[in-house]
Structure 1
Amino acid sequence: MKRILSILKEKWPEYILEILVITIGILGAFALNNWNEQNKNRIFEKEILSLINENLSKDSILLTEEYQKAVLANQITDSILNRVNQGIFDETLNLWMGKVIRFERFKSQSSGFEVLKSKGIDLLSVQKLKIDLINYYDEILFKVYQANSDVEGSFNEDWIPLVKKEFSDFDYDDRMEPNDLQAFIENPQHIVLFKMFQDNREGAIYRMRVALAEISSLKAQIKSQLE
């Protein structure tokens, strides 16, 4: 370096050399700051992706539980309708109705994504992961909430008034006992209500299935980034 400066001094005025040295120093400092900033961003990216991955794991557990309950409820609805067609009216129907006349509850664990949004989602280095996270939290989950809300709305508006009027016992998610089981279950309007509730829940089942598939895809992408 000293040899280079000696040669430059012979050819260039001293003030030009000073400007050159200052410029090189500024550019070096800028490059170092830029490297430090990029390094901080990568550290933050790994930390926030780890948190989002934990959130997604919890979402997967909670969604799977509610999804399985919803699928079971619709399968049991078919069994109830088959029993009615066969003219079988026993305690099993009370237990089955307890599994059907209910709704699914789900709340996403989204703390990691909220932190990411507050810091700036552009801090993520992979464009596809960015887009997929936005799609999951802003689109897919919205549709899950909306579908589950439809089921809950039907439960509150259609079933609760009926339960208050025609049931002697109501143990949520366990057992329901009409005042007159056979008369209740054979009522054509009640049969229609079971079918409508089943159809309504089918929408929630589909939305939860889509969400679970997206969680699996996101976790695979995050794993790739963290390795």
Structure 2
Amino acid sequence: MKIGNWKKNGFEFLSIFIAVISAFALNNWNDNRRDSTSEQKILREIANGLVKDLEDVRGNEGGHKLGISASQYFKNILTDKPVDLDSLGIYYFIVTRDFVSIQNVAGYETLKSQGLELIKNDSLRLDIISLYEYDYQTLRKLEEEYSEIQFNENYFKEINQSLAPNFQFNADQNIVGIDLPINITTEKKKIILTYLWKIEKNRKFILQSYAQVETNINKVLEKINTELSE
């Protein structure tokens, strides 16, 4: 082979090699850019969902705290302690009320469909998985499946049978008062007091779970905001 041809062929090979490598590099850059854009979009979607989840968590926390106050209110009635009768209706409505755990999972489902590894930050990815797969599932099962926390199903009928005969109603059949001292047997009183005690203890238990979930949501939100600001 002549030197001129060797140089020519070598130059052509080098040009092709550089072109191929450049194409691979450009394709890889485009893939990384596309993944980065998708990651940021999904993180924003997850963050927006978490803000709504915080509202739901705090709403349920408030409901359970009011439920504890309702239990204490009727314990006072049963033990002949003074109460504000203007609060009778709302406390009776809430004393055995159950709640559902609502989570906005659209962003997380999108992430799973595109691959969890799309989140490059290992710590953030693990925290997101833990929040949705463990914390949210635990909270939902406590609220909707754990038998002791199904207050209406477990306790309303007997509490109502014991207290309702003492209620006062207006022309519209709304509860407006209660005959005091309440007419109830000692045996029934002890049973209802036991129910109210269990309701209060279980509401305090689930409030601990809500507090932990709220902490974890804020932790993930903080990490997402840091990731998006970089």
Q: TM range, normalised to the smaller chain?
A: 0.7 to 0.9
1:132 aligns with 2:134: no
8 Å contact 1:52–1:111 — kept in the other structure? yes
2:60 maps to which of 49, 62, 66: 66
User: Which residue number corresponds to residue 155 of structure 2?
Assistant: 159
| Identical-pair percentage | 21
- The whole-number CA distance in structure 1 between the counterparts of 2:72 and 2:147 is 17
CA drift of 1:177 comes to: 8.2
- Counterpart of 1:183 in structure 2 is 184
Is the 1:63–1:212 Cα contact (8 Å) retained in structure 2?
yes
Residue 54 of structure 1, CA deviation: 0.6
Number of residue pairs aligned between Structure 1 and Structure 2: 215
After superposition, the C-alpha distances for 1:23-54 in whole angstroms (9 at most, x for unaligned) are 11111100000000100111111111111111
Distance 2:98 2:185 in 1: 21
1:120 is aligned to 115
> Are the structure 2 counterparts of residues 163 and 39 from structure 1 closer, same or farther at C-alpha, using a change threshold of 3 Å?
same
Aligned equivalents of 2:94 and 2:61: distance in 1? 13
Unaligned runs of 5+ in 2: 168-173
TM-score under structure 1 normalisation?
0.81
1:111 corresponding residue in structure 2: 106
Moved more, 208-217 or 144-153: 144-153
1:211 to partner: Cα distance? 1.1
| 1:21 paired residue number | 15
**Runs of 5+ consecutive residues of structure 1 not aligned to the other structure:** 1-8
Q: Residue 103 of structure 1: SS of its match in structure 2?
A: coil
AA aligned opposite 1:187: K
Alpha-carbon RMSD across the aligned residues, in angstroms, is 3.0
Q: Is the 8 A contact 1:53 1:219 kept in 2?
A: yes
Q: Which residue of 2 aligns with 1:3?
A: none
Supply the distance in 1 between the matched residues of 2:78 and 2:157 (Cα, whole angstroms).
Answer: 22
The CA distance in 2 between the partners of 1:22 and 1:212, in whole Å, is 57
Asked if the contact 2:148/2:154 (under 8 Å) is kept, the reply is: no
Q: Which residue identity does 2:157 align to in structure 1?
A: P
Change (3 A) 1:177 1:209: farther
